[in-house]
Structure 1
Amino acid sequence: MATIPTTTKDIAVPTAKLEDFHISESELPPSPPSTEDVQANLTALLLPQLSEKASINLPSDAAYKENTARWSETTFTSPTAVVNVASEADISTVIKFATSHNIPFLAQSGTHGLSSSLQKLTGKPHIIINLRLLNSVTVDLPSGTATISAGALTKEAVDAAHAAKAHIVAGVCNTVGVIPALLGGGMGNMISLYGLGVDQILSARLVLASGEVVTCSLDENPDLFWGIRGAGHNFGIVSELKVKAYEQINEGVHWTGTLGFTGSKELLGKITESIKEMGIGKGMGVMMIWARPPPALQPMIILNLWYAGNEDEAKIAYSKLFDLEPMMQICAPTPYDHVNDANDLVCEKGQRKPAYSLGLDFSQLSDLENVWEQWVEWSNREGAGHSVVLSEIYGFDKAREVDEGSTAFAWRGAGVFVLTIPIYASPTLDADAHVYGTKFRSTLQGAAPQRVYSNFANGDEDPSSLYGGEERLQRLRALKRTWDPKGVFSWYNPVC
């Protein structure tokens, strides 16, 4: 087996500066074609090259609206067309066509990417490569592996694992693309049992800007394998991932609970102290939600709890939270393939949802009190009453067993990831939402370094906040220069 260094200090990293990615005017491709030319070329020239099940949606087609709907309307970019690919070869063909015609493109599966960096596509003729037809997931429990295709959603992957009496590490939102979530880090309840999603990846197939398909693993292209595990969207379109699969726990029946508390800063303090006292042990996970649910629309603190075991064990593990006497309790044994269902409402598509996030140490959980009043004031504003704050609180002991330098994911030291999501319908609130969101994030950060989970990034942060310090960035930029020298894959949270 080939060996790779376990820390970035072991690497002789070529210096890669931002200007290294610039090209002279003589090297520039022709000006981008017009929208009309792109649409005509797609239907006349590209479509005949694609597989039988592939298709193209133009804005006049009925399927266009469905296939461009996004979790947040702030990331809708008015694409010129949607190309619904049906094979890995289709992905390669579309990429080669787009690059040869100087057409920017963006791949999508669950359409939950929330970064404002996507807005740079707005006003440019560009295409969406829709991967949803590539949604197969196969689980081979005897070998301890699962193979996930490019467009599969979290729910589809979890369903396949459950049917095979297995567990895999995936996110907590059913409708998120499972591969993009894993490439960014792979947060989710299961990390307390098995570690981060990036640590589950055994190999990947990527379609590069040239259309070439390459495989990366510890044995093959190990430098690229390091980079995709934490910054994978910078180097190509991942057409397939092979990940670890585990034998199911408790015959696939877990426990979930939803506890509701009247919202107040004082009670928030009691909740955070109780969570800190009990700790987040193996097989535990907490999603804290601040919301104004109907019909009263008054502030509430909602805890979605997960436990990999039976109800009696769960009640003991979370006893300190039950001791606070929540006004609402909905608890039940839950099959593994339904443990994320309590988060479905937060995961619905539509409305404007610019998100602002920060990673905290577990010991900093009480700092949430510093931003409670900011959220209360903002969410009390007309048109902003659906705005929420999510705090994902996981057990990171297993994740920290892996050397911090072994992947491009930078923030194993954090244990809490907080994001405030202003939710509203009218673009007239965009500027005020940004003022609120940045103030919320700045207050929560204080004087500490900014640590941002790339899947939760707003897009206004410095890349070092997403990918670690300068040493990590230099290594990622060197990889970028090798694997995507023209910056084709740079629309979503680029490393440079």
Structure 2
Amino acid sequence: MSTITPDAHVDAQALDDLRADFRGELVGPGDPAYDERRNVWNGSIDRHPALIARCTGVADIRAAIGFGRRTGLPVAVRGGGHSFPGHSTCDGGVVIDLSPLKGIRVDPLRRTARAQAGVLLGELDRETQAFGLATPSGIVTHTGVAGLTLGGGIGWLMRKYGLSIDNLTSVDLVTAAGELVTASEDVNADLFWGVRGGGGNFGIVTEFEFRLHPVGPIVLAGPILWPMASSPELLRFYRDWITEVPDELTTAVIHRWVPPLPTIPAEYHGRPVVMVVACYAGPVEDGERVLAPLKAFGRPWLDLCTPKPYLALQAMLDPGYPHGRWYYIRACDVAELSDEVIDIAVERGLAIDSPLTSYPIFHLGGAIRAVDGERTAFGGRSSGHTFNFVGATPGRDGFAEQRDWVRQSWQALEPHQSGAYVNFLSDEGTPRIREAYGAAAYDRLKSLKQKYDPGNLFHLNQNIPPG
């Protein structure tokens, strides 16, 4: 345990009591590790918690929750630290840091995996792929399993196998009162409904159990690149083509400048590009037949959609979203790629003026839409596509301009929006959160919040107040 200097916000006796009952690392402003421990993925978030409690297990989590209740300090919960608006940290409060909790157990016979709350996507993928298995997860390997899953979990397997929450079979959760409970379809079913899309509003999930599927180790996947000027024709072709593709295929259209990656010839670096990134969750030869019309469209600059290890696909976008950059994100769902939406998409792509700024358009549907919308709290099952506008800079310089591009892009699509993916929300207020879930689900979530966290201890999130 570290020797820390108490922050002025922290009651000394409460801190002594916590020390006596805590086995992990306690980090405060006087600790040499403080600046390293307080940093999160989004470099534009610069907050100074009074205390960071790095938990080693459920007992530490319960102790940290009790400390937060007794002191009245704000409580933030950190898994992977990828929260776009910085909800995994706070000023002057206590951060319950779950990142030391790295346990993973794969059962290849039952095709299940149990993962603790500090596990990252790449860590889970590595263990499950050892058995040729995977569960749907996200698109950047250093994202935390916990936050991604609790908000829904979109990624490259979603049209075939659904969202992360559709493959969740149970969770262990510590409530605001410090009680450890299990939730599944058969036990605390109301809570299990809520954690599948409702985020961290109801407690701290300490462990997840997922259903696994045969995936890889080789999949047909990767990007196909065209010059940005091809975007109008490509998007209209893409819109028509995806109406016929099987659920095994998940794609995303990305507008950006070509990044300087070793897999891309230097002559293309820095050029404005529109790309379709694909993953076919089935036999490679079947995927080649399905993707043939797309690969033949127009004059692609590069075709990097080839057979590759599933782990390579999962890590493909990592260089575009490293820790420490300044990010500003706004997102929305649309029902379809109408001509009007396509025109806006093209215009916003042409307006990109930074080598780090981009936006993907994820194709939804398939197994996502096949799940009854009332089965989970997730609110976007009927959406056709998710837009995610990401403005990024190395630091403060130029950040305001990229933030303006994001806001203008989001506003241009506002008349066509049909909801939002809660994991992509920034700090946008209660009306936007309610819109993300829909009125009926939101009201049900409020009742669930009243049952499990009536004091709203867990409010640093896309918050659903008790009601």
Distance 1:89 1:77 in 2: 26
Match of 1:291 in 2: 256
Correspondent of 1:305 among 251, 272, 278: 278
**Residues 438/117 of structure 1: CA separation in 2 closer, same or farther (3 Å cut):** farther
**Residues 302/345 of structure 1: CA separation in 2 closer, same or farther (3 Å cut):** farther
Match of 2:93 in 1: 126
Check if 1:480 corresponds to 2:449: yes
Match of 1:403 in 2: 372
Distance 1:355 1:40 in 2: 39
**Residues 333/476 of structure 1: CA separation in 2 closer, same or farther (3 Å cut):** same
Check if 1:458 corresponds to 2:388: no
CA contact (8 A) 1:368 1:444 kept: no
CA contact (8 A) 1:359 1:416 kept: yes
1:45-444 equivalence runs, <5 A:
45-51=17-23, 54-115=24-85, 121-122=90-91, 125-246=92-213, 248-249=214-215, 252-264=217-229, 267-279=230-242, 280-292=245-257, 293-294=259-260, 297-323=270-296, 324-364=298-338, 367-377=341-351, 379-380=352-353, 384-394=354-364, 396-427=365-396, 432-444=401-413
Distance 1:259 1:477 in 2: 44
Higher helix share: 1
Identity %: 23
Q: Which runs of 5+ in 2 are unaligned?
A: 1-5, 261-265
Distance 1:228 1:365 in 2: 37
CA contact (8 A) 1:192 1:282 kept: yes
CA contact (8 A) 2:433 2:462 kept: no
How far the C-alpha of 1:67 sits from its partner, in A, is: 2.7
How far the C-alpha of 1:262 sits from its partner, in A, is: 1.4
Q: Which runs of 5+ in 1 are unaligned?
A: 1-33
CA contact (8 A) 2:58 2:206 kept: yes
Q: Which has the higher contact order (CA 8 A, sep 6+)?
A: 1
Distance 2:339 2:377 in 1: 25
**Residues 364/213 of structure 1: CA separation in 2 closer, same or farther (3 Å cut):** farther
Q: Deviations over 1:43-86 (max 9, x none)?
A: 633233112xx112233434333333322123332222322111
Q: 2:252 is paired with a residue of what secondary structure? A: strand
Aligned pair count reads: 448
How far the C-alpha of 1:430 sits from its partner, in A, is: 5.7
Distance 1:290 1:104 in 2: 39
How far the C-alpha of 1:310 sits from its partner, in A, is: 4.5
TM-score using structure 2 length: 0.88
Distance 2:287 2:35 in 1: 43
**Residues 268/109 of structure 1: CA separation in 2 closer, same or farther (3 Å cut):** same
CA contact (8 A) 1:205 1:238 kept: yes
Distance 1:307 1:65 in 2: 42
How far the C-alpha of 1:488 sits from its partner, in A, is: 0.9
CA RMSD in angstroms, aligned pairs only: 2.5
